[in-house]
Structure 1
């Protein structure tokens, strides 16, 4: 059977030229197709309207091997590059991101459907800041020397080697930069494998790293499906670090592959985070926090999708919540007035709707929403809030990853029940508290199983702070020096006392 015609190596997306080939060893490469059984590319579509955006080079084992080989060849030179020079180059990458911020925002909105105004005002500035922060943190990295009976202990962070970075579709460029910036700052080289549903801005980032002056092979990009490109990448013995953001089942497969070579892994996985609304909380603030969980159509791993309300606060909370959520405009994410855009893909909408339909069949009641948007259809799913859900139900226990919240109540003053409900899943990524009682908030927060707890706020991040999950929400912490701890091998050099000094050995 004849194969489809291979697309041109450059596509125009939202008016921006995007190279659709891999970036390996400083060269753009199409995919090999040695057995001619499948097209050497795949098509990415916009969730906004389903329109095809580009034919993307479809990588496999050959491309993964080539990228790791390029990263290994480049590693000794990059690791030996003085920190000040590495930092300068990362600042140049940040300059390139800022210069192309509008292009990046338009392309990413077309590719993943998140709000254009959010990409312009929040995401792309954060991408640049990721590179600047880790460049600056590299130059400040250090630990005070320790002394033991006159001996000096000197701690250094040694670059570990090529890092495989596998990123999800919900925040493509932000998470790519969150991983690549510290890895590159640490002196490790990088092979990035973006999600197949959202590969476009990763390709633009490859161009930016090249224009900034990164040597060939320091940053590599392999596009493709997880089973075809991701699996051989994480199984390659030349990879010395793996950073993955995505689902628990995929993390298990990566961990099994990494175990063969004892490759260290950092996993940021699913979440089913609680939002606890205490009776003394400002109901307007609590409602604002709840509505904020619909950001990016609910496709946020940190989202507090389980709203747990103290019984006496339920009616006031719901009144304020409904007032706010009914004012949200759902539609084209390129429109400044839009508050909720589309979900990523028709298959994902089917998954989200399946959770809701099963919950309704089990007795849940929709306060709002409960299905696809009747006017927009396609990938647009109504912001939904379900009540009448049991703690052990699927809708409470499993990550939906869409604009779907559940509401449960707990007795007034019963912190034990509140904590039991909050901690009552296999996840532990984050938790949010709304309360006017700081001491009570601190007592409850201390008992929550979560990598991050927000009190009267949500999604406030500092790159110096640790980030990661507990239980099945992840393995390890990144951010600040924790990122350098992961992308480096930490060395302790112990020196005996100098000449004329007596060392006592005991």
Structure 2
């Protein structure tokens, strides 16, 4: 596989940004880490260092939190009208849209994902979320109620911003997930410290630049780059952070919950998944087969909602598996910025080792690899899209989140919905699921039985700013979109007056 020089594939704006001297945004200042330490940013498509960013630690976090606290307690942000705040958020969306090409290129270079994905998902998804939440800014209301107590009382509630919010986002969708967590917090009136994953920090810094250009008051949006075990841990435990939003692994989520207990800060978590795609005998296979393939191979399977467990009625099992395997075997692997790339590399050497380790364990356990299963080349972190059969519920590759382009296919020959649902629910996770059938009664009855925060019928990986996104069980707490996200970043205050 020929890997091009990414420098020749970027626009001038993206190239210029990547090659800047990158710093932390704290208040209205761009600063190096006080220690002077930096983190190498690596292009997953080549394995080469493309930039360096500051490696913040607790001292830098203290400065960022102090800036956010000052902006919330005493700055113009808290005195701004809700409509003015919404207008500023809308202008932020406009500025992101105006820089769509370079943002998509930086996202592709940073994550390894195919450029077309970043162009059709990440940038427009970010813009639409900001515009949706901008509209909510002026519609966050309390309510009045009738109480049972005797005498005359006037009782009502108000919703107030929770305060300073730390937002820690993962490396798979660093731009879009940052915006999706920022937008409701900003609409509610909170101030933010954004901490991107150390593997993919570039567009977080670019968001900070655009926020300044847009005119957000100093301290409303701060950006702190660095490692999870230092900067992330310091934010999670900080006594002056009022809420934390974390997207990532369930293991790290547990650590954040423990750290947040110090001041009982509010915690929102979107964690891991092992999502089932359930294909019934009557499914339209012209839609189900490419739908299932897209659910696991989009973004090289590095998606928390990826349909990594395929449950198929035995009567069509071979047809579905063969169809998905054919799609997998014909996908074009390549550098994310290269024309024609359908599947980019995994994000890092560590992720390559993780996915390869699960595949090795699967081989030892006796799985059948229908297609794929191997690394491609030695430059960059490319993994073949893989389809596996002959798995069991006890195998790690079937039970645990691989977070790679690996699909485990299992047949079922039982038309009893309870038993099929039991197969789908046999996981500690409960983030996403899809049901493929032309029987509307079956579809909606199964949707009731599947224990997941989102259940899709005849589609998978559905996201929209108005559609609540979040998980059951060990897939997390709270919802990331819809008005439910606004609720997460507000406190409800009850007020009573005796008349």
Aligned to 1:7: none
1:377–1:359 CA distance, 2 compared to 1 (3 A): farther
Aligned to 2:7: none
In structure 2, stretches of 5+ residues that fail to align are 1-11
Q: Provide the C-alpha distance between the structure 2 equivalents of 1:408 and 1:249, rounded to a whole number of angstroms.
A: 27
Deviations 1:65-113 (A, max 9, x none): 0000000001023222210111111112112111111111111111111
Q: Provide the C-alpha distance between the structure 2 equivalents of 1:378 and 1:23, rounded to a whole number of angstroms.
A: 31
Equivalences for residues 18-29 of structure 1 within 5 A: 18-29=20-31
1:414–1:377 CA distance, 2 compared to 1 (3 A): farther
Aligned to 1:219: 221
Q: Would the aligned equivalents of 2:433 and 2:460 in 1 still touch at CA under 8 Å?
A: no
Q: Give the CA deviation at 1:250.
A: 1.0
Q: Would the aligned equivalents of 2:430 and 2:472 in 1 still touch at CA under 8 Å?
A: yes
Equivalences for residues 356-505 of structure 1 within 5 A: 356-373=359-376, 375=377, 378-496=380-498
Q: Name which of 139, 157, 160 aligns with 2:159.
A: 157
1:156–1:341 CA distance, 2 compared to 1 (3 A): same
Q: Would the aligned equivalents of 2:38 and 2:53 in 1 still touch at CA under 8 Å?
A: yes
Q: How many residue pairs are counted as aligned between the two chains?
A: 481
Instruction: Confirm whether residue 294 of structure 1 aligns to residue 297 of structure 2.
Output: yes
Q: Aligned to 1:378, what secondary structure does the other structure show?
A: coil
Q: Which moved more, 1:261-270 or 1:412-421?
A: 412-421
Q: Aligned to 1:14, what secondary structure does the other structure show?
A: helix
Q: Name which of 275, 278, 303 aligns with 2:277.
A: 275
Q: Aligned to 2:146, what secondary structure does the other structure show?
A: strand
| Superposition TM-score, scaled by structure 2 size | 0.93
Q: Give the CA deviation at 1:168.
A: 0.1
Q: Would the aligned equivalents of 1:312 and 1:412 in 2 still touch at CA under 8 Å?
A: no
Aligned to 2:15: 14
Q: Give the CA deviation at 1:169.
A: 0.2
| Superposition TM-score, scaled by structure 1 size | 0.92
Deviations 1:353-410 (A, max 9, x none): 100110111100101111112x575300000011111112111110000000101111
Q: Provide the C-alpha distance between the structure 1 equivalents of 2:154 and 2:358, rounded to a whole number of angstroms.
A: 59
Aligned to 2:333: 330
Aligned to 1:146: 145
Q: Provide the C-alpha distance between the structure 2 equivalents of 1:46 and 1:12, rounded to a whole number of angstroms.
A: 18
Q: Would the aligned equivalents of 1:428 and 1:470 in 2 still touch at CA under 8 Å?
A: yes
Q: Provide the C-alpha distance between the structure 2 equivalents of 1:147 and 1:478, rounded to a whole number of angstroms.
A: 32
Q: Provide the C-alpha distance between the structure 2 equivalents of 1:326 and 1:225, rounded to a whole number of angstroms.
A: 36
Aligned to 1:188: 190
Output the aligned Cα RMSD. 1.7
Q: Which moved more, 1:407-416 or 1:50-59?
A: 407-416
Q: Provide the C-alpha distance between the structure 2 equivalents of 1:109 and 1:147, rounded to a whole number of angstroms.
A: 54
In structure 1, stretches of 5+ residues that fail to align are 1-10, 34-38, 498-506
Aligned to 1:341: 344
Q: Would the aligned equivalents of 2:47 and 2:379 in 1 still touch at CA under 8 Å?
A: no
